[in-house]
Structure 1
Amino acid sequence: MAHVFIGSEALAAGKVTRYELGRHHVRVLPNVYAPRRAQLTLLDRIVAAWLWSKRRGVVTGLAASALHGARWVKRGVVIELNLANNKSPAGVLTRSETLLDDEIAHLRGMAVTTVERTAFDLARRLPSGRAVQRLDALVRAADFRAEDVLELAQRHRGARDCLRIPRILDLMDAGAQSPQETWLRLLFINAGYPRPQTQIPILGPSGFPKYYLDMGWPEFMVAAEYDGEQHRLDDAQYRGDIGRSEYIERLGWRRIRVLAGDSGASILRRAELAGLRR
């Protein structure tokens, strides 16, 4: 993590001279600096935005979800703050909305929306598919209850797009291990197939789980799995996948293996060929 700091404070404290500030540091945001050669992480950018707010902003949205441990948040994402300021710099988005005291937590020294409030905001602001992807990642990291988010939503009934929150929360599933798995699950649901179960345990000879299937329908012995690049590029994992596949197939499972670039239509055709019915 780079050392991100407020330039005027560092000058006043004598930690840097004006020459050193201009020579060895780069301005990240107005009055916020970092070492010139530093590769800023997402956390660096969140800290920079919070410092730019003069430590008054509350981190919200995707940045808040990342602070709560959610994966798959891109480093260059816009940092959202709850702050009364309508002139935010590039890379920062401010909103002035009602936040109750129990909807604010403190992480890494910064004010951040709680997990439940973060879920509430993601569910109503993002397009439906992306909202479910982000909630899947958040609930997997922070293990919150949908009921608590719905209760919070009741406090803010006048907030924009609140009516869609129950539907988005109903689609949430902590078993999704990547945004691609969420996309695949929603593909089946939106096409009218039964909702797939996620992380289906496959028992070994000992009677304990030996493998887990990404998602599937145990009653039909049909599964669907998303194979990322690492499955083909990592030789050890590739060899392990062969043994895993043979074992699962011996048990009678039919698997729909999905790769990046596969179209939704082709995946659904393969689902029908595997014996799955809408």
Structure 2
Amino acid sequence: MDRVFVGSEAIAAGHLTRHELRRWYRPIYRGIYLRKDVTPTVRDRTVAAWLASGRTGVIAGVAASALHGAQWVDADVDIELVAPNTRSQSGLIARNETLAADEVTKVAGIRVTTPARTAYDLARHLPRGKAVARMDALGRATPFSTEDVLLLIKRHRGARGLRRLRVALPLVDFGAASPKESSLRLLLIDAGLPIPTTQIPVIERGYQPFAWLDLGWEKYRVSAEYDGDQHRTSRPQYVRDHRRQRKVENLGWINIRVINEDRPHDVVQRVTAALRSRGWRPQAPKPAAAPR
């Protein structure tokens, strides 16, 4: 028995004795087991949560986004599911919420919230920055319609977290290739800079792009990109990036590279200075209407 299973069912079927269960297996959730020498994946823990609900729960939230193909989901993330008769426990969050039939689908035999409902839940239950990054990743893997999410707001009037949802949803951009890119985009928007375009193609000659810039402003030929650890740990990647950067600059782009150690204020200053050098000016605030 290499994957998760219900301990009582395995004993009843004669696959294991109680002694063998205690010796060779460990519980992930109450009554749900996995071999001690196996490190559980997010998939294992998702299946375990579903089994813990008596196979009646619906996987939701971050775990649902992972089932739909979203990346950047750690193996130890809390598994959320909609299961009125299931109690929360360490690593498992059970919610008693209303789900319509068209808000549930199946992935690999497990009931899971649809992409639109998953986005709806992510935005209601997470802080804005994390919610946007999670929805970006979900939409990149399985595009969903923001209109469908807005319809869920109308359907579930009075649900908790709708204010959060209304703030986060307009900021979603499926072009973000990582949570760091999502955070960088939000940092620049919050600083009052124009909303950037994501995944901008750069063409040197012919018709095929040689680069896709993380985010930027084509009108001003200014872009910003987040450099992950692969740029530091891989020499071949470093060389490719250096050559790519020179090509981008030769075509008239100011391409600002951002690393994890950069201070947010400094990043904003660098991008603002680049935009100003290309003619961008912040819009003056509209004057308040005169009292009548």
TM-score range, shorter chain: over 0.9
Alpha-carbon displacement from aligned partner over 1:197-253 (angstroms, at most 9, x marks no partner): 100000131222111110001111111000001012111111111110110010111
Indicate conservation of the 8 Å contact 2:124/2:162, yes or no: yes
Pairing 1:70–2:70 present? yes
Cα offset for 1:272? 2.6
After superposing the two structures, state which structure 1 stretch, 152-161 or 170-179, moved more: 152-161
Alpha-carbon displacement from aligned partner over 1:70-128 (angstroms, at most 9, x marks no partner): 11111111111111246322111111111011111111221111111101111111111
The one-letter code of the counterpart of 1:263 is R
Alpha-carbon displacement from aligned partner over 1:118-147 (angstroms, at most 9, x marks no partner): 011111111111111111001001011111
Task: Tell me the TM-score normalized by structure 1.
Answer: 0.96
Question: 1:102 is matched with which residue?
Answer: 102
What SS class does the counterpart of residue 242 from structure 2 fall into? helix
What SS class does the counterpart of residue 210 from structure 2 fall into? strand
Question: 1:140 is matched with which residue?
Answer: 140
Q: Structure 1 residues 19 and 164, CA, compared in 2 at 3 Å: closer, same or farther? A: closer
What is the number of residues matched between the two proteins? 278
The one-letter code of the counterpart of 2:213 is L
Indicate conservation of the 8 Å contact 1:2/1:39, yes or no: no
Indicate conservation of the 8 Å contact 1:2/1:44, yes or no: no
Q: Following superposition of structure 1 onto structure 2, how do residues 29-108 of structure 1 map, counting pairs within 5 Å?
A: 29-85=29-85, 87-108=87-108
Instruction: Measure the CA separation in 2 of the matches of 1:266 and 1:31.
Output: 51
Instruction: Measure the CA separation in 1 of the matches of 2:118 and 2:255.
Output: 35
The one-letter code of the counterpart of 1:228 is G
Task: Tell me the TM-score normalized by structure 2.
Answer: 0.92
What SS class does the counterpart of residue 99 from structure 2 fall into? coil
Q: Following superposition of structure 1 onto structure 2, how do residues 1-278 of structure 1 map, counting pairs within 5 Å?
A: 2-85=2-85, 87-276=87-276, 277-278=281-282
Instruction: Measure the CA separation in 1 of the matches of 2:58 and 2:86.
Output: 15
Instruction: Measure the CA separation in 2 of the matches of 1:2 and 1:116.
Output: 33
Instruction: Measure the CA separation in 2 of the matches of 1:117 and 1:107.
Output: 14
After TM superposition, where is structure 1 displaced by more than 3 Å over at least 4 residues in a row?
A: 275-278
Instruction: Measure the CA separation in 1 of the matches of 2:272 and 2:193.
Output: 10
Instruction: Measure the CA separation in 2 of the matches of 1:110 and 1:86.
Output: 16
Indicate conservation of the 8 Å contact 1:50/1:57, yes or no: yes
Percent identity of paired positions between Structure 1 and Structure 2: 49
For structure 2, the residue ranges without an aligned partner over 5 or more in a row are 283-292
Instruction: Measure the CA separation in 1 of the matches of 2:232 and 2:60.
Output: 37
After superposing the two structures, state which structure 1 stretch, 68-77 or 156-165, moved more: 156-165
TM-align CA RMSD: 1.4
The one-letter code of the counterpart of 1:260 is N
Q: Structure 1 residues 235 and 2, CA, compared in 2 at 3 Å: closer, same or farther? A: farther
Q: Structure 1 residues 2 and 146, CA, compared in 2 at 3 Å: closer, same or farther? A: farther
Cα offset for 1:45? 0.6
Cα offset for 1:2? 4.6
Instruction: Measure the CA separation in 2 of the matches of 1:85 and 1:263.
Output: 46
Question: 2:285 is matched with which residue?
Answer: none
Indicate conservation of the 8 Å contact 1:199/1:215, yes or no: yes
For structure 1, the residue ranges without an aligned partner over 5 or more in a row are none
What SS class does the counterpart of residue 209 from structure 1 fall into? coil
Instruction: Measure the CA separation in 1 of the matches of 2:186 and 2:84.
Output: 37
